[in-house]
Amino acid sequence: MTKNHKMQFDWTSRKVGEWRGFMKQVPRANYLQSMPFARALRMQDQKVTRLALICIGEEKIGMMAIQEIKVGPVHVIYLYRGPMWFQENPPEEWFAAFAQLFNQTFPRRLLRRRRWLPEWRDGAYAQKVLLANGFRSKAQSYETVWLDLEKSESEIRSQFKTKWRHALTHGERADLKVHADWTGASAKVFLNRYEADRLQKKYQGRSAKFIAEEIKTAVAFKDMVILLAFKGDELLAGILILLHGNSASYRVGWTTEDGRKYNANRVLLWEAVKILKKAEVHYFDLGGVEPSSAQGLTKFKEGMGGETFKSVGLFR
């Protein structure tokens, strides 16, 4: 980048349609940068979201959505899984320039707290750049698994690990019925089951009220689908998928004992793949994995044979 073409932020206010349009320019967008997530944060956590385009000269090369809390002199800034670039495999010098610009825009000071989880693959160079620009590591990484939906259904299925594929076949033979809800009509039932499961198993995750706010915003644009699996009249499992631009994310899900017996979640995820392909979604983010503390969940998601992405971690 030349001196006359430095990276800069464009904080111009954007309408909902513009935000969604910019998301479509991101090859692999994530829900933490999406409007439904931002609206839920506003309603549930009183965090204000600001959207910025990232520019070099007149060229728009990326975007980010930050959340802020301001109480008198106290200023808290959150940037989760950003920035997002408008091209696949952007040059690493963009990340370096962004880190410098972000630090200059929100420098460290008394009563300001920064929390940044860069959407930047882990590596020695990334760590070096972030530390050189005044950021301090919190030693918390984030990993997820991406499925490439531009492949054919047969190619996607063939990449499933053998045990995962066999379990899926077993589930398909159980004659489960899958209902796809794009209207949110089943949201109450789905979220009641989700909240009960979350409290019973004591796992971390957003509350049903928070997820309900996301659904409320996303459903207006058909940016969400709830998939439910039935065995006869018995509801066995459910998953929520959020769409954002050309990508989609597995948001939350739950299953019953019989659901596990019949591999209902595998059936639902495979159905989600087929539905998302028809919706012309290019990439499917299966959500966070934790190899050290949640080996079962990690093994389950990695069983679909996608690409594991490990970010550089959380910084402040």
Mean pLDDT of all residues in 99-110: 96
Three-state DSSP string of 94-135 = HHHHHHHHHHHHCCCCCCEEEEEEECCECCHHHHHHHHHCCC
State the virtual CA torsion across 305, 307, 312, 316 in degrees, nearest 10: -80
CB 39 within 8 A of CB 213: yes
Residue range 138-189, pLDDT digits in tens: 877 899 999 999 999 999 999 999 999 999 999 999 999 999 999 999 999 9
Q: What is the reported pLDDT for 140?
A: 78
CATH fold group of domain 3-142: Aminopeptidase (3.40.630)
Q: How far apart are CA 181 and CA 280, in angstroms?
A: 18
Is the pLDDT at 295 greater than 90? The verdict is no
CB 288 within 8 A of CB 268: no
Domain with CATH 3.40.630.30 in the chain: 3-142, 145-309
* Partner residues linked to 68 by β-bridges: 48, 77
Residue range 216-273, pLDDT digits in tens: 999 999 999 999 999 999 999 999 999 999 999 999 999 999 999 999 999 999 999 9
- Best CATH choice for the domain 145-309 from the list 3.30.1360.150, 3.40.630.30, 3.40.50.920, 3.90.550.10: 3.40.630.30
Residue range 32-83, pLDDT digits in tens: 999 999 999 999 999 999 999 999 999 999 999 999 999 999 999 999 999 9
Element containing residue 259 per DSSP (H, E)? helix 257-261
